[in-house]
Amino acid sequence: MSLPKIAKLAPQTTSLFVCDIQERFKSSIWQFPSVISVAGKMLKASKHLDIPVVVTEQYPKGLGSTVSELDISDATLCLPKTKFSMFLPEVQQVLQKHNTKSIMLLGIERMKQAGAVITTSESALFQLVQDAKHEKFKGISNLVKEYAEATKVNKLLYKHHPY
């Protein structure tokens, strides 16, 4: 019997990847507003916890830039690409520079088949602060409360969607 993979997140060794959350996909991806909502929450949390953010945009000339609802102005790297992967030389440099051991991936891809650990944004955020005594816990807790209504809607939507 094998044990499931356990993901450990720590702000000092985690990076946030925002992959292809672009204007052209707004009308073609199921529940895209939910994707934007979760991404917005995670971007704010990353700023609060000093987590580097890497943003990639698939062929932005044709698919548009990252949606305007997301503030990516503080991203460590924002990179246009044509490759169907975020693992580009510039991204690898960011990972090395920040000693990244864990990546939180946001986007429209389904990564479970590729071995990703699927979790909720709230679980990831509370794992990052680890304890209610953490100096930034209150800020993260307030962020979770700020997005509570959107989270309820997301959970209802995903409960009824077959994967």
Q: At what angle do helices 32-48 and 121-129 cross, to 10 degrees?
A: 10
Architecture of domain 12-118: 3-Layer(aba) Sandwich (3.40)
What does the pLDDT average to over 22-28?
Answer: 93
Both tokens of 29, joined, read 């991806």
Both tokens of 153, joined, read 């809607």
C-alpha count within 13 angstroms, C-beta hemisphere, residue 163? 9
- Provide the pLDDT for residue 3: 46
Q: What percent of the chain has pLDDT over 70?
A: 88
pTM higher than the cut 0.85: yes
**Which of 2-16, 34-48, 52-66 is least confident?**
2-16
More confident call, 31 vs 163: 31
pLDDT digits (tens, 9 = 90+) for 85-112: 999 999 999 999 999 999 999 988 777 7
CA 73, CA 76: separation in Å to the nearest integer?
9
So where are the chain's domains?
A: 12-118
CA 29, CA 147: separation in Å to the nearest integer?
21
